[in-house]
Structure 1
Amino acid sequence: MSKKKENEAEAASSILEYLNTQNRPYSAGDIFSNLHGKFGKTIVVKACESLASSGKINEKIYGKQKVYAPKQTQYADYKESDLQQIDEEIKKYEKICTELQRSCKVLEEEYRVLKSSLTTEEAIARLSELNKICQNNQDHLKRIKSESNHISPAEKDKIIKNRKTAVQTWKKRKRIASDMMDAILENYPKTKKQFIEDVGIETDEEYNVTVPQI
């Protein structure tokens, strides 16, 4: 027998003895740690799988992890049917546990929503605040409607139209003046600023005004 096979056989024997002595389930990683690195981790994994495939120990899969446990028939007068029944009960309770966890998540979400909502006292206070704002707005609206200096829609349209005409005229005249000034400055020996001072032109910029938007 090769050295590798001897190590695997020794590891299998030691692991079987360890599991039977402890009488509790372990993962291959746990067994490797508990044997204090006596055998390499790869050898421990192979030995566990070999013992399980030969029926010397039990193998259970939980998610992505495999767990190994000793055969219980060596400790008491168990029947295989008894063990199967226990396995069925385990599956039943695992299903119940999963359903409870799902229900717990739903309740946690409901609690989160309720926690972020206003309490009854806060809702009453907020409603009172909004009622006051609403009443103030209604009073303000009533005062506006009772004023006698309102203008009719026709008068309003006329004002807007006159303003639009005035702004357009302002823009037009400003553009004409700018074009005339540019034409003169082509042959003027001084700067634009000096020309404005010499002629005495008053500009919008001098009075910090701009043409309004229509």
Structure 2
Amino acid sequence: MSAKPKTTEPKLPVLKGQDAEDAVLEYLKRMNRPFGAVDVSANLKGAVPKTATQKILVALADKGEIVQKTYGKTTFFVANQANLEDMPAEKLAALEAEHKALEEENKALAAEVRTATTELAKLRNTPTDAELSVELQRTIGAVEKARARLQPLRSGAPLVTADELTQLDTEWARWRTEWVRRRKIFLTFWQMVTDALTPQEADELAEELGIEHDTLEHVAIERGPLCVPAGVQVLGKRRR
């Protein structure tokens, strides 16, 4: 993969003499804030070299075009405020009116942006036609499956006989007893193995060995009506 060519800004021609001086003075007047020679040269994109900029600034200060201020070892230059054009009251009022109008326009645009952002969020959360079609087909399939399961009930056919319920009760009691026995053996063995371990170490060991403890579904079944003491409930009949 070839490297992308670096984009470089076009280099401005170097100004000399009066052109350089005019450029420096015009920049300070336009910005009307203190700058050092390095900043002025950098902001002019190198059109006036740093050394020349320093000499021009000193010369302009000697002429009174700009003011030179020294703070410690740092020297700043700023346009001479006495030489700047006074702002007529009419022009100032017009600028203030323009500023106010722009502020109002900005508020209106900000409100439009908020409205558009809200609408965009709604559109992004709305399923597409393709997604709706998939969901519709899934729902239709679920309805058809449910109707097929209800069909025996509607036709009056018996679902489970008494003998089948008794067989289910017997199988359930048998395999649950076996499960309880095996769980008790595991818990006893696991207590012996992890007795000297911290809870965190025990969890790490269980994860390393791939041991899966009872899930919330298992706990719910154990606490549910299927696991009440024998004689209180069977699958087919519940004592009220």
Q: Specify the TM-score bucket, using the shorter chain as the normaliser.
A: 0.3 to 0.5
Structure ranking higher in helix proportion: 1
TM-score under structure 2 length normalisation: 0.38
Task: Please identify the structure whose Cα radius of gyration is greater.
Answer: 1
Relative contact order, higher structure (CA 8 A, sep 6+): 1
